[in-house]
A and B are shown apart, each in its own frame.
Chain A
Amino acid sequence: MGNYGMKVLRVGYDVDETNLSNYVIHSKYKSLKSLALATTTDSTVSGNDYAQVDIAHGLGYIPLFFVMAELESGQWRNIQCANFYIPTFDSSISYFVEAFANATNLSFAVGAVNFHGSSNTFSVNHTFNFSYYLVIDEIT
Chain B
Amino acid sequence: MANYGLKITKDGEDVATAVDKNLVYSSKFNGMKIAKHNTAGIGSTAHGIAYVPTFLSYRKYSGTKYRVDSGIPNFDGTPYVTSTNIVFPNADNYYFIFLDSV
A residues touching B (Cβ–Cβ < 8 Å)? 1, 5-6, 25, 27-35, 37, 39, 59, 61, 66, 68, 70-71, 74-85, 97, 131, 133, 136-138
Contact = CB atoms under 8 A, between A and B. Distances in A.
A81 B70 contact: yes
20 contacts: A1-B11, A28-B24, A30-B10, A31-B24, A33-B25, A33-B30, A37-B30, A61-B21, A68-B102, A70-B102, A71-B80, A75-B81, A76-B102, A80-B68, A81-B69, A81-B72, A83-B75, A85-B71, A131-B54, A133-B32
Given A30-B24, A37-B100, A77 B75 contact: yes
Given A66-B56, A77-B80, A133-B100, A32 B31 contact: yes
B23 interface: yes
A31 B29 CA distance: 10
B90 interface: no
Secondary structure call for the A interface: strand
Contacts of A82: 70-72
A16 B75 CA distance: 45
Contacts of B74: 84-85
Given A82-B72, A133-B54, 15 more contacts: A5-B11, A6-B25, A31-B24, A32-B31, A34-B30, A35-B29, A66-B56, A74-B83, A76-B52, A77-B80, A81-B72, A84-B75, A97-B71, A133-B32, A136-B20
Contacts of A70: 102
A37 B52 CA distance: 13
A100 B21 CA distance: 20
A80 B25 CA distance: 25
Contact of B71 (A37, A59, A74, A84): A84
